[in-house]
Amino acid sequence: MISAQQALYIVLSRSERLGVERLPIEKALGRMLAEKIRSDMDTPPFDRSAMDGFAMNSNDRSAAYKVVDDIPAGKMPKRQIGQGECARIMTGAPLPPGADKVVKVEDTQLISRHLIRIKHFDNKPNVSWRGEDVRKGEIVLKAGIKIRAQEVAILATFGKRKVKVFRYPRVGVISTGSELVEPGKKPGPGKIRNSNSFMLLAQLKRLGIDGIYLGIVRDNFRETVKNINKAIKVSDILLLTGGVSVGDYDFVKEAIKKAGIKLHFNKIAVQPGKPTSFGTKGRKMVFGLPGNPVSSLFIFDLLVRPAIDRMVGRKAKQHLGKSILAADFERRHTDREQYVPVIQSDSRVRPIKFHGSAHMQALTKANGLMRIKRGIKRLLKGATVDVRPI
């Protein structure tokens, strides 16, 4: 049985960037930029007042200054500023010719309607000089970076209404199992409601992806093969949940093969999540996730999320942080890497009561999964542990 690390390596070695699409900048938040962006103009585009005040020449120390112009933001100055003259100017407005300084309004005094005096003459120009932030033609954003709010502002500033980003995968979600009914229905005898699909759609949504829900498929071999074939046509990644254990009724592994998908593994030495399979058909990926909801949630984070990260141009990470164990921990079997639900606060973690991989209720009380590596039997209070926030 391969380890979690080997499984991740196999998955990532098959994960490639999906290619590029152009999006309006208001839809590009969180995406990875797929082109470099150059400035199409100097920034500021002109010498610009950084204050509301009066524009004048810094060498002109007159007793009073005649206000010869009035320059709001967005207007070009009408005339030259000479000796003993100034122009009323607003923040963001272009400096008039002849001026190289703005005295802020608080440092001036109005003597008459068109005459001012300076109360306090300092050395600050209070001008943002043309091109001081960015020169025309300069690269303002490098390809490969993540688009945050400030990058959206830069794109707008330099006139990019649409921008090239790495495409998100289309992710199909199928639940398999004759015991499943949809959440809107009351389960009959022996049935339970389908919760995994909605959970996986929520996990995808957290990554910015609107998954494609493809419904429940009964435990019928022909129907399962048919549905996998159909689903793989509309998906870059297909998530199957349920039906990936060892029994007679677990068609999914065979159905995956029958659908022409190359199976790379069908078991991982990890707890929960052992019955996990992974296959590819060309560049398309199929994950057979365990039917137990806790396992399914966890394997998504362990394998599917890093694959998606890489496909969209992000760094594929395990998103594990360090924490301190707040109580001793011991386990019976040590042959698998294990993830245990914990409550983390102030960098200390405490495992919570957990009945096993069907016990989703425990995960609503947890905010992390603590990793215990293969071979480790006992961890003492105070040990440093790896925790993935959930």
Residues 68-107 that bind its own copies (CB under 8 A): 72-76, 88, 90-94, 105-106
DSSP code for 158: T
- Counting contacts by CB under 8 A, is residue 112 touching its own copies? no
- Counting contacts by CB under 8 A, is residue 156 touching its own copies? yes
**Site track for its own copies across 207-246, x = CB under 8 A:** ------x-----x-------------------------xx
Separation between Cα atoms, residue 108 and residue 89, nearest integer Å? 13
CB of 38 to its own copies, least distance (A): 13
Part in contact with its own copies (CB under 8 A); list of ranges 11-19, 38-46, 221-229, 258-266? 38-46
> Is 75 strand, coil or helix?
coil
Q: Which is nearer to its own copies, 110 or 380 (CB)?
A: 110
Separation between Cα atoms, residue 92 and residue 372, nearest integer Å? 58
Neighbours of 382 (CB within 10 A): 11
Let me know: does 37 contact 173? Beta carbons within 8 Å: no
Q: Which is nearer to its own copies, 216 or 379 (CB)?
A: 216
Strands of the 108-112 sheet, one edge to the other? 101-104, 53-56, 85-89, 65-71, 115-118, 108-112
Q: Which is nearer to its own copies, 170 or 359 (CB)?
A: 359
- Counting contacts by CB under 8 A, is residue 368 touching its own copies? no
- Pick the binder of its own copies from 3, 5, 157, 318 (CB under 8 A): 157
Total residues contacting its own copies by CB under 8 A comes to 93
Residues in CB range of 187: below 8 A, 6 or more apart: 181, 193
Task: Give the distance, in angstroms, between the CA of residue 86 and the centroid of all CA atoms in the same chain.
Answer: 50
- Pick the binder of its own copies from 3, 5, 62, 195 (CB under 8 A): 195
CB of 329 to its own copies, least distance (A): 21
Separation between Cα atoms, residue 80 and residue 70, nearest integer Å? 12
Part in contact with its own copies (CB under 8 A); list of ranges 4-12, 60-68, 196-204, 253-261? 196-204
- Counting contacts by CB under 8 A, is residue 132 touching its own copies? yes
- Counting contacts by CB under 8 A, is residue 271 touching its own copies? no
Handedness of CA 220, 226, 232, 235 (dihedral sign): negative
- CA distances to 7, 229, 277 from 265, rounded to whole Å, are 8, 19, 5
CB of 183 to its own copies, least distance (A): 4
- Counting contacts by CB under 8 A, is residue 123 touching its own copies? no
